Amino acid sequence: MGRYILRRFAQFIPVFFGVTLLLFFITTVLPGDPVALKAGEKQLPPAVYAALRHSYGLDKPWYIQYVNYLGALSPVHYTPKAGLQFTGPDLGESISTGRPVTQMFSETYPYTAELAFTAIGLEIIFGIGIGIIAAVKQYTIWDTLATLGSSILVALPVFWLGLMLQYLFGILMKEWTGGSFYLPISGSGGPGSPFDPWVYLVLPGITLASVSTAYAARIMRSQLLEVAGQDYVRTARAKGLRERSVLWGHEMKNALIPVVTFIGLDLGAMLSGAILTETVFNWPGVGLMIYQAIGRRDYPVVVGGVTLVLVVVLVVNLLVDISYAFLDPRIRLGANAEG
């Protein structure tokens, strides 16, 4: 198991450098000359221009700039005077509010995480549940409905689904019931709001979970059907086990592994993919922050926000990978060190 974890860390290193290098090029090299951008229309005297370039470190070769960029990303900073200090990554300040991007991020991220975990919960319940029903009742109307439904969910624009849910449950239902029952379609509640806080999570949670649930159900179904054809399942039936025991005791154990893999990696995707859902439902997470920054052309917030989200995804995916070491007996017992 130790070897497996070490190997995962070793694989993480090139991906980490690759991603940060890519981010570095997109955010600092591609936009052109930041000094000229800051100066705007004004023509700077050459001496001032050179001094500004020097103060930004732009006169250094690109690899030194890259190291500086990594330094800014690092949450821990070292100065000879103060020693090691945990100051958080330095990603500049918002143009419109002047506040550090890192601070804005840490205020909004808990909301994104709350939404992502809600969606993961829905995905686990409905994705696995629907997948099991479709597989157990293969070729019945339920199977067809599940397959068709998942194809449609995957082809939907997520934000459009959100808007339609808002219309159905927030607007139409309010009209039909004369205002006595409907779901909130905007924001996250707070003091004086008409609903409990969790009610605000319902529609955004469903929206964010939709596509992933469809995939999870598909994988669950196909895995169960694949496992059902294997010898050990036939043996279990042959020795007289009830169908229920065959399904839960034998088939599910193996069929679940790829589903758990998918859902685990999906957590990373959800922690980042919430941008559309949050925008539709005005949910005060990182996605909404990035969206509003796009509208205001608040460039440091867009770049800093996306960068931080990507770093979080990177770390979450690594943690998910490592947690297999504990979940998968083949790895835990070291029988398959290469796997």
Partner 1 sequence: MTDDQKATEVSDRAIIEELVPVHPHGPAGDEDERRKESRGARTLYGDAWYRLSRNKLALGALAWLMLLILATLTADLWVPQNFGAPNHIDSSTIMATRLQGPSMTHPLGTDDLGRDMFARVIYGARISLTVGALAVLVSVLIGLLLGALSGFYAGWLDAVIMRIADVFLAFPYILFAILLLSVLPESSRTGIAPVVLTIGVLGWPSIARVFRSSILSVKENDYVDAGRALGASDGRLIVRHILPNAVAPILVYATMSIGGAILTEAALSFLGLGIIPDPVSAPNAVSWGRMISDGQSYLTSNPGIVLWPGLAILTTVLAFTLLGDGVRDALDVKLKD
Binding site for partner 1 (CB under 8 A): 14-15, 18-19, 22-23, 26-27, 30-32, 151-152, 154-160, 163-164, 166-167, 171, 218-219, 269, 272-273, 275-276, 279, 290-291, 294-295, 299, 302-303, 306, 309-310, 313-314, 317
| Cβ-Cβ contacts under 8 Å for 164 (sequence gap 6 or more) | none
Query: Is 13 or 238 the residue whose CB approaches partner 1 more closely?
Result: 13
Strands (E), the chain: 76-79, 83-86
Q: How far is the CB of 151 from partner 1 (least distance, A)?
A: 6
Closer to partner 1 by CB, 132 or 185: give it.
Answer: 185
193: left (phi over 0), alpha (psi -120 to 50) or beta: beta
- Report in angstroms how near the CB of residue 244 gets to partner 1 at its nearest: 28
- Give the C-alpha separation, 209 to 120, whole Å: 7
Q: Please give the structure tokens belonging to residue 225.
A: 């059907």
Q: How far apart are CA 122 and CA 205, in angstroms?
A: 8
* Closer CB to partner 1, 47 or 141, in the complex: 141
The whole-angstrom distance between residue 129's C-alpha and the CA centroid of its chain comes to 22
Residues pairing with 79 in the sheet: 83
Minimum Å gap between C-beta 272 and partner 1 is 6
Nearer to partner 1, 31 or 75 (CB): 31
- Cβ closest to partner 1, residue 24 vs residue 126: 24
What distance separates the 2 farthest-apart alpha carbons in the chain? 89
Name the residue nearer to partner 1 (CB basis): 22 or 64: 22
Kindly state the smallest distance separating residue 314's Cβ from partner 1, in Å: 7
Query: Are the beta carbons of 69 and 24 closer than 8 angstroms?
Result: yes
Contacts for 329 with CB less than 8 Å, ≥ 6 apart: 335
The CB-of-22 to partner 1 minimum distance in angstroms stands at: 6
Taking the complex as a whole, the smallest distance from the CB of residue 249 to partner 1 amounts, in Å, to 27
C-alpha–C-alpha distance, residues 50 and 59, integer Å: 8
